[in-house]
Amino acid sequence: MSKADNIFIAMCTDILENGISSEGEVVRAKWDDGRPANTVKKFAAINRYDLSEEFPILTLRPTNLVAAIDELLWIWQKKSNNIKDLNSDIWNSWADEDGSIGKAYGYQLSVKHQYREGEFDQVDRVLYDLRHNPYSRRIMVNMYNHSDLHEMNLYPCAYSLTLNVTGRKLNAVLNQRSQDILVANNWNVCQYAILVHMLAQVSNLEVGELVHVIADAHIYDRHIPLITELIQRAPFPAPKLLINKDRKDFYDFKVGDFVLEGYQSGLQIKNIPVAI
């Protein structure tokens, strides 16, 4: 049985049984019929994934790893904020007529900052520190730039990553201000698990833990029956992640360099309503 499935089931069960409903509150999100998209939420869900033991992809239902990695590379490798550089439609509703999502995500990672050692953007600074000062307690990125929020079409959800090397293992803490558990949870977990694998490989390190902190972990009201059915399914064993070991440069990785061996999953949930 996949440990990622166990973590997901426990989190969803806790939200459903002990969460707080937004009924009666003023909520921003709406359904496509105009009705308020209410949620049941828990504050500060914290999940730990040992990447040295398994790749944390759900088997209760399939996660589209190819599309998830493509978005990850769009943000972290291409450092783009334009959907024309992305091979999916997931950001279309947030883009302007030119394809830009504003000064969000990849844009923030592309901005150069001055350090004692010279100018780096946030990604290149991480790569530099992991090679030259891996035991630093200052290796992190932050995409929540208050001075640019007014020019972002969507405030960053997963907004900061803190990296920490213990022994030879690279660990990471992913901070997320808000998450739609059904739509986005395992998508983000898989993305940042892949990122830790990438950074570890090019830094001659081993993967350790990914700790995911979600400040507002919520299940939308119209998702409750879907989640209830999903967490009653029988999980499969975790698949094995195969990575192209020839990649030594972070910017050389391609989507096809990551393959899951033995990935089994339950049926996909179709026509999931998405709040906007």
Q: Is 251 annotated for ligand binding?
A: no
pLDDT at 9: 98
% of the chain residues with pLDDT over 90 = 98
Q: Where are the domains of the chain?
A: 3-261
pLDDT tens-digit series, residues 3-61: 999 999 999 999 999 999 999 999 999 999 999 999 999 999 999 999 999 999 999 99
Query: Does position 276 have pLDDT exceeding 90, yes or no?
Result: no
- pTM: predicted TM-score of the whole model, two decimal places: 0.97
pLDDT at 240 over 80: yes
Indicate the average pLDDT of the chain.
Answer: 97
Of 186, 112, 105, 180, nearest to 148 (Cα)? 105
In angstroms, what is the C-alpha Rg of the chain?
A: 19
Give catalytic residues, as residue numbers.
Answer: 157
Is residue 1 very low, low, confident or very high in pLDDT (cuts 50, 70, 90)? Answer: confident
The pLDDT of residue 272 is 94
**Per-residue model confidence as pLDDT tens digits over 68-90:** 999 999 999 999 999 999 999 99
Average pLDDT over residues 172-193: 98
CATH code of the domain made up of 3-261: 3.30.572.10
Report the pLDDT averaged over residues 171-184.
98
Residue 234 per-residue DSSP state: P
Q: Per-residue confidence at 196, pLDDT binned at 50, 70, 90? A: very high
| 246 marked as part of a ligand binding site | no
Q: Does the annotation flag 116 for ligand binding?
A: no
Alpha-carbon torsion 88, 90, 93, 95, what sign? negative
What's the burial of 276, exposed, middle or buried (CB within 10 Å: 0-12/13-18/19+)? exposed
Q: Which residues pair with 242 in a beta bridge?
A: 259
Longest dimension (CA), the chain: 55
Task: Say if residue 132 carries a ligand binding annotation.
Answer: no
Q: Which helix (H) or strand (E) holds 165?
A: strand 158-166
What are the Cα distances from residue 23, in Å, to 38, 45, 70, 127, 221?
A: 6, 21, 36, 45, 10
- Give the model's pLDDT for residue 205: 98
Number of residues in the chain: 276
- 218 appears as a binding residue in the annotation: yes
